[in-house]
Structure 1
Amino acid sequence: MKINTKFLGEVEVDKQHIITFEKGLPAFEEEHEFIVLPFSEDSKFLTLQSLHTVDCAFVIADPFSFYSDYKVQLSESTIEQLELESEGDAAIFVLLTVHAPFNETTANLQGPIVINLKQNKGKQIVLSDSDYTTKHLLFPLLTTAKEEK
């Protein structure tokens, strides 16, 4: 099926890859069906695009590509809601807030998105018992180097 997207124009998507967020996302509770699309074949950045609202799209990334020590502990209720049978069934993404210049882009490590890859179910969770915030610099070394000049 073809859908219009905020960042990529019109794209063909496979219905098998539609991810259902039973309760939507915080502040977007009416949006239940999304698709994850890469910006390009070799990009670390993806878009989480609503199937029903073109302007409802988020830039996301695999947090482990940027933060090797990032840890996410899933609650039993999240495991049950997403019907996760094994750790390998889960994909973790974080929402990015893109800034200009791009090296000031931040990641929401406090509210990762968890997707069951087998069941195509997703949920945004809140890591309340952690030191993570909603605004971690994605490229801290680049930003620090710029400030030192």
Structure 2
Amino acid sequence: MTDIDLEMPIIDMAVPMPGFPAHQQFILVRLNDQGLLYAFTSIQDPELRFLVAPPEPFFPDYAPEIENQVLAALNTKDPDRLLVMVVITAGANETTANLLAPIIVDRDSRRAMQVVLNDSSLPVRAVMRKDY
């Protein structure tokens, strides 16, 4: 079992992630010095973690539109305080990011949710460059 640093800020899920209804609290654990990769780790089960990254270094034009009901669920007062993280899948031949369903975190309320965006042109498996 992985030890969790409970001094790290706990992120409460406003809505559970699809398929994981029992996991309501997570922490972000930085995995590299550059701050490009994180483990979104469940407090309830530290073995459950998702590889996530901020999209900007990999997809500089990515600008998801966050709907008002998401802002309300996160208790967002300032949309500029949102942290957008994309879920990464590391494969043997390529690494992809889910641009259709990012995890949105309000930095102030520390509430989060995975949001399926209305823009159906966004890929679930966008290939990431290999030089990260």
Task: Normalising by structure 2, report the TM-score.
Answer: 0.91
Unaligned 5+ segments in structure 2 are none
CA contact (8 A) 2:52 2:86 kept: yes
In structure 1, the partner of 2:64 is 72
In structure 2, the partner of 1:133 is 123
CA contact (8 A) 2:100 2:116 kept: yes
In structure 2, the partner of 1:116 is 106
Residue by residue, what CA displacement relative to the aligned partner does 1:85-136 show, whole Å, maximum 9, x if unpaired?
Answer: 11221000000011124xx100000000000011110000011224111100
Distance (whole Å) between structure 1 residues aligned to residue 4 and residue 26 of structure 2: 13
Q: 1:69 to 1:30 in 2, by over 3 A?
A: same
Report the structure number with the largest CA radius of gyration: 1
Between Structure 1 and Structure 2, the one with more helix by share is 1
User: What percentage of residue pairs aligned between the two structures are identical?
Assistant: 24
In structure 1, the partner of 2:30 is 38
Residue by residue, what CA displacement relative to the aligned partner does 1:56-100 show, whole Å, maximum 9, x if unpaired?
Answer: 100000011111110111111001111111122100000001112
Higher RCO, 1 or 2 (CA under 8 Å, sep at least 6)? Answer: 2
Shift of 1:14: 1.5
CA RMSD of aligned residues (A): 1.7
State the aligned residue count.
131
Aligned ranges 1:17-36 → 2 under 5 Å: 17-36=9-28
User: Which letter does structure 2 place at the counterpart of 1:110?
Assistant: L
Residue by residue, what CA displacement relative to the aligned partner does 1:12-55 show, whole Å, maximum 9, x if unpaired?
Answer: 2315x100003210111110000001013324100100001122
Distance (whole Å) between structure 2 residues aligned to residue 88 and residue 75 of structure 1: 14
Q: Secondary structure at the match of 1:111?
A: strand
Task: Normalising by structure 1, report the TM-score.
Answer: 0.81
